[in-house]
Amino acid sequence: MRTTASTAGFDPSAESCDALLGGRLRLIQPRRGFRAGMDSLLLAASVPAREGDSALDLGCGAGAAVLALGVRVRGLGLAGLEVQPAYAALARRNALLNGLGLEVWEGDVAMPPPGLGGRAFDRVLMNPPFFDRRASVRAADPGREAAQGARAPISAWLALAARRLRPGGTLSAIHRVEALPALLGALPGTLGSVAVLPLAPRPGRPPRSVLVRAVKGGRAPFALLAPLALHAAPRHLRDGEDLTPWARAVLRDGAALPWGPPPD
């Protein structure tokens, strides 16, 4: 039987509680449907947050990215916006499970709830839906479909991020490589100092995703950084983990992602 989300939440028997970041973060999520993956942790690790900052996760799902950020940098004011009530409820539960404060609004980025208006944040992060449903097949599970199939255009996500950022605040986003031109083309004029960090699965392989950072009011020139490879070997040679040292530090130890030249 396929598990689906509802306003009442998920059936507890269809949930799992998973240990992420080497056990530093525990995440309740549906066994079927949208489940947090590597992208959420990489996004969280890329946010240049400092103690005392406030951070808003647009499309927070069950809270993986924003809570991973809160685990890495203590003393943050954490908030999220999620369109699916069942996932918003999971995010609240996960915050309690990990001893973190998290304010979650329910609503769409194209029509955010009134309570979010007027709020300002030091950091905004997002992992927006990456499939254009005009050219792809809908996912069978409603939760997965809402997380992966774009409804609001990327311009709506970026416009909301720009409005909610304080001057000097940063936007951090992860997206698929093929969506990068649309993302860059839709950036509001108030966001500058744009930097793109490609993420390749292995050395010598084309990047599949990119991390994008922009600063509200930033004036630095555009920067395309050298790619980071997640796995050490040029191809999959054996069973078992072969993460590069930086990827292991980020995904297993909860370290910050290196924003610059690849480590030796």
183-204 confidence digits (pLDDT tens): 999 999 999 999 999 999 999 9
Check residue 130 and give its pLDDT.
64
Check residue 150 and give its pLDDT.
52
Residue span of the structural domain in which 51 resides = 37-253
Check residue 236 and give its pLDDT.
65
Check residue 113 and give its pLDDT.
95
Sites in the chain below the pLDDT cut of 70: 1-9, 130-150, 235-240, 260-264
Residues 40-50: tens digit of each pLDDT: 999 999 999 99
Exposure string for 73-105, b = 16+ CB within 10 A, e = fewer: beebbbbbbbbbbbbbbbbbbbbebbebebbbb
Residue 131 lies in a domain: yes
Residue 82 lies in a domain: yes
Name beta bridge partners: 251. Answer: none
- Tell me the three state secondary structure of residue 54: strand
Name the domain count of the chain: 1
Check residue 133 and give its pLDDT.
39
Residue 180 lies in a domain: yes
Report the phi/psi class of residue 156: left, alpha or beta, with left for phi > 0 and alpha for psi in -120 to 50: alpha
Residues 6+ apart with CB under 8 A from 139: 145, 148, 149
Closest by CA to 34, choosing from 70, 113, 87, 108, is: 87
Residue 116 lies in a domain: yes
Check residue 151 and give its pLDDT.
75
Positive or negative CA dihedral for 241, 243, 245, 249?
negative
Alpha-carbon separation of residue 90 from 26, 37, 53, 149, 199 (angstroms): 12, 16, 24, 20, 29
Closest by CA to 43, choosing from 20, 59, 66, is: 66
Residue 55 lies in a domain: yes
Q: Determine the Cα–Cα distance for residues 235 and 77; give it in Å rounded to an integer.
A: 41
Q: Determine the Cα–Cα distance for residues 193 and 203; give it in Å rounded to an integer.
A: 27
Alpha carbon 249 to its chain centroid, in Å, reads: 18
Q: Which amino acid is at 194?
A: V
Say which CATH number the domain at 240 has: 3.40.50.150
Residue 20 lies in a domain: no
Residue 243 lies in a domain: yes
- Tell me the three state secondary structure of residue 184: helix
Check residue 180 and give its pLDDT.
97
Residue 13 lies in a domain: no
